Structure 1
Amino acid sequence: MTLDGLPGLPARIRTYLDAHRGHDVPAAAGCFGPAPVVVDDGRTHRGRDAVRAWLERTSAEYTYTATALTAVSHDDRRWTVAQRLEGDFPGGTVDLAHAFTLDDEGRITGLSIAPWTAG
């Protein structure tokens, strides 16, 4: 499923996912608010500079394709998007849940990435 198959997904989340998938660090970084927090792979990245460094590293580290599995709105500001990544990273395939928190302007203020299991 593409992101187009996820109706109602907020624009900034859609833009972030498309930009990150396309290794467009400036576009992905532009989706975050002024004091974002990203938790990924057991590490916490706080602030715009740390998040941009994380984006640069993760965009260059591996080559992969991402397939959207599902998106769930918890309320106006919290969404979880599950994706299947397939690529040249250890294991080759992983399903990940991206839990987003948005501010009043729709900017990403929080992102937590963890393994996802349907259920």
Structure 2
Amino acid sequence: MKLPQLVDRFIAAHNSYDSKSFVDCFTRSAIVHDEGKTHKGKEEIGKWIEHSNEEYRSSMKPLKYEETGATGVLTAEVSGTFPGSPIVLKFHLTLKDDLIDGLKVTG
């Protein structure tokens, strides 16, 4: 599957548990919504992904990607050390200046 470079970087950083490279995919003012919590800015996003990496050791396999204007939806199979693994999740991306400005993870 051919993915935009940013989405490839996002997946690669996630799958290699590289928190710094993961955070580098986001704008300074980005907002992430996941598991009922909101994380604002690179510092909070960094803490969120570090906790997620330690807690769940998840990896994602892209299944589908659709982009319209400044929004994209990545559908991926996510597996890790969490109940119900693997599951299919949708990563709703808001894009700005070739970075992710917003991310909402849904089931």
TM-score of the pair, normalised by structure 1:
0.83
**Contact persistence 1:10–1:106 (CA under 8 A):** no
Structure 1 or 2, whichever has the larger Rg, is 1
Question: 2:94 aligns to what?
Answer: 101
Q: Deviations over 1:26-84 (max 9, x none)?
A: 10111111101000011110111111111111111123342211001122x11100001
Note the residue ranges of structure 1 that are not aligned, 5 or more in a row.
Answer: none
Structure 2: gaps (5+ residues): none
Distance 1:22 1:79, change over 3 A: same
- Work out which of the residue numbers 5, 16, 20 in structure 2 matches 1:22: 16
TM-score normalised by length of structure 2: 0.92
Aligned-residue CA RMSD (Å): 1.2
Deviation at 1:86, TM superposition (A): 2.2
The percent of aligned pairs where both chains have the same amino acid is 26
Runs of 4+ in 1 over 3 A off after TM superposition: none
Specify the SS of the correspondent of 1:88: coil
Number of aligned pairs? 107
How many angstroms apart in 2 are the aligned matches of 1:34 and 1:57? Answer: 20
